[in-house]
């Protein structure tokens, strides 16, 4: 579904560009009809003028108003115009020639102009960024050119000649050399258009895949981290597990079970979505990455997939931003007579395995290790030691500032024999 949406966006751009080009071409054609003498029959001139004005209005409207919502309708009108107008032009030209005895006057020379109108629509069709549509217009315009050739050959007494003297003196002689060049020219244009349309279609799919990948990166990594991944060509799908030191953060909403007890499921989802949005914004603003959402908990890492320098300090700066957002949210909910939301934050720093885990069917880029488990337990410990924010001694030692804190020594982390030192932080 994401690919379809992204491809359609590019289709819209293609149709917009094609419409702008066609708008300009029809405008030039209208100016030629008005200011340059050439059409002798008044009714034909009026009809040509009407066609050109219709083209200018139609493609001007499509170029300025096409969007993802009305794309199919605009494409239908554009195709209809590009199919109907060459037929109308051909019919009007034939009528004009019949009125001025052009078939007798020009006879074999008409072949020289039989291919003129075929190449333009083929080339413009590339701009629609639709491979099969380009093939259709190539075949369609080749058929129209073939019909013009047949009409010229069908003129009585015409014949093909390669003798320059005969061609120069006999109006019924079709220049075989020019005919061969025109056929070659049309084939080259047709093959070139199809090849270019195929290349554009392939690039479109590749660019769409890349954009989708960038969008997925944007859901997990901050813009700065994403830019660094792209700059260094860091391929998450191909990356192998590696051990590196990172800061791991867990947050969760205090008393969430009790809070959600009186809420409808939709209200619970809205509450979680609003909370997670605030947390993710703070993580991204400080160069972190969102690893996953676990119920009302958010797991974030600082230093994945590449370190941003002082990852422990970035984690602390993130906590500050989170607390500011939570205080602002508290005021909003208080003013709306809604329960105040509190949360807990725990951070630990240490070695983790960073990379892809999962099966062939589903792969997830994540971090695994004792550091993750300890970070989760530190977040849980906030309730026990009565603190909103707890960081491990490993985090505090790596800060680039002297952070005032209340030390909790020899804390027994649940499920772990080794005791650790924690710090209550007020930010």
Query: Is residue 329's pLDDT more than 90?
Result: yes
- Burial of 112-132, coded b for 16+ CB within 10 Å and e otherwise, reads eebbebbbebbbbbbbbbbbe
Pairwise CA distance, residues 58 & 226, whole Å: 42
Closest CA to 158 of 115, 103, 199, 196: 103
How many other CB atoms sit within 10 Å of the CB of residue 211? 16
> How is 242-268 classified by DSSP, letter by letter?
EEEEEEEEEEEETTHHHHHHTS-HHHH
**In order of start, what are the domains of the chain with their CATH numbers?**
2-217 (no CATH), 236-424 (3.30.70.1230)
Closest CA to 421 of 397, 388, 387: 397
Closest CA to 107 of 178, 148, 158: 158
- Residue 396: helix, strand or coil by DSSP? helix
Q: Which residues contact 251 (CB under 8 A, 6 or more apart)?
A: 279, 297, 298, 300, 322, 343, 344, 345, 346, 379
Quick one: what percent of the chain has pLDDT higher than 70? 85
- pLDDT of the residue at 1: 45
Arithmetic mean of pLDDT over the chain: 83
Mean pLDDT over 99-111 rounds to 68
Gyration radius from the chain CA atoms: 35
Q: How far apart are the first and last CA of the chain?
A: 42
Pairwise CA distance, residues 96 & 190, whole Å: 29
For the stretch 161-215, pLDDT in tens is 889 888 888 888 888 888 888 889 889 989 998 998 888 887 777 666 655 555 5
For the stretch 292-318, pLDDT in tens is 888 889 999 998 887 878 899 999 999
Torsion of CA 363, 365, 371, 372, to 10 degrees: -70
Query: Is residue 27's pLDDT more than 80?
Result: yes
- pLDDT of the residue at 200: 81
Total-model pTM: 0.54
For the stretch 214-257, pLDDT in tens is 555 555 555 555 565 555 555 555 455 678 899 999 999 998 88
Query: Is residue 102's pLDDT more than 50?
Result: yes
CB-facing half-sphere around the CA of 418: CA atoms within 13 A = 6
């Amino acid at each position: 579904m994401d690919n379809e949406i992204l491809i359609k966006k590019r289709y819209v751009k293609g149709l917009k560009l094609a419409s702008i080009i066609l708008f300009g071409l029809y405008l030039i054609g209208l100016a030629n009809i008005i200011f340059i003498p050439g059409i002798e029959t008044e009714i034909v001139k009026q009809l040509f003028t009407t066609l050109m004005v219709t083209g200018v209005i139609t493609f001007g409207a499509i170029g300025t108003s096409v969007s993802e919502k009305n794309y199919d309708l605009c494409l239908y009108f554009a195709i209809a115009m590009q199919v109907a107008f060459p037929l109308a032009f051909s019919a009007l030209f034939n009528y004009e020639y019949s009125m001025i005895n052009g078939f007798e006057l020009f006879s074999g020379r008409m072949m020289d102009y039989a291919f003129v109108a075929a190449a333009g629509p083929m080339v413009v069709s590339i701009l629609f960024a639709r491979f099969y549509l380009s093939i259709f217009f190539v075949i369609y315009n080749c058929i129209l050119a073939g019909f013009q050739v047949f009409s010229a050959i069908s003129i009585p007494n015409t014949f093909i000649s390669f003798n320059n003297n005969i061609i120069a003196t006999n109006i019924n002689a079709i220049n075989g050399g020019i005919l061969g060049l025109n056929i070659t020219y049309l084939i080259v244009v047709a093959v070139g258009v199809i090849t270019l349309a195929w290349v554009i279609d392939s690039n479109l799919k590749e660019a769409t895949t890349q954009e989708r990948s960038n969008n997925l990166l944007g859901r997990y990594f901050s813009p700065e981290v994403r830019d660094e991944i792209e700059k260094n060509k860091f391929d998450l799908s191909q990356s192998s597990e590696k051990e590196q030191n990172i800061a791991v953060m867990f947050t969760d909403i205090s008393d969430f079970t009790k809070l959600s007890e009186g809420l409808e499921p939709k209200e619970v989802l809205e509450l979680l979505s609003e909370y997670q949005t605030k947390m993710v914004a703070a993580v991204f603003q400080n160069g972190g990455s969102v690893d996953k959402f676990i119920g009302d908990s958010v797991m974030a890492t600082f230093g994945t997939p590449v370190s941003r320098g002082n990852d422990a300090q970035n984690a602390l700066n993130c906590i500050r931003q989170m607390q500011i957002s939570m205080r602002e949210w508290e005021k909003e909910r208080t003013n709306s007579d809604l329960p105040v939301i509190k949360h807990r934050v725990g951070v630990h720093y240490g070695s983790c395995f960073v990379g892809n885990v999962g099966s062939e069917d589903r792969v997830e880029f994540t971090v695994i290790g004792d550091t993750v488990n300890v970070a989760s337990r530190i977040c849980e410990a906030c309730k026990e030691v009565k603190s909103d924010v707890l960081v491990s001694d490993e985090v505090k030692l790596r800060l680039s500032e002297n952070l005032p804190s209340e030390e909790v020594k020899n804390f027994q982390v649940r499920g772990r024999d080794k005791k650790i030192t924690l710090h209550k932080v007020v930010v």
